[in-house]
Amino acid sequence: MARLANDIKSDKIAMRIASDQQEANKMGLGDGTPGFLINGIPVQGAQSAEYFVDLIEDLRQKGKLNI
């Protein structure tokens, strides 16, 4: 708990969070959680398993799946 209290006040941690937020915004993820990148496609918010399966299958069929 002491470490958490110090980290909350830390400029280093604040800069890391700001950097991560900027990177997420550049990728189209915005401020919400959860957020995912599926082969470069931003997916925001809670989605069903079916949504992910359909997205991945669509990418696979188009030959655009890089996994």
Q: Are residues 49 and 64 in the same domain?
A: yes
The Cα 61–Cα 67 span in angstroms is 13
- What is the predicted pLDDT for the residue at 67? 66
Domain that residue 20 falls in = 1-30
Q: Where are the alpha helices (DSSP H) in 10-64?
A: 11-26, 49-61
Average pLDDT, the chain: 90
The phi, psi pair for 52, rounded to 5°, reads -65, -45
pLDDT tens per residue, range 9-25: 999 999 999 998 898 88
Tell whether 52 and 22 lie within a shared domain.
no
Do 44 and 59 lie in a common domain? Answer: yes
Q: Tell me: do 4 and 23 sit in the same domain.
A: yes
Residues 37 and 21 in one domain: no
State the pTM of this model.
Answer: 0.64
Q: How far apart are CA 9 and CA 23, in angstroms?
A: 22
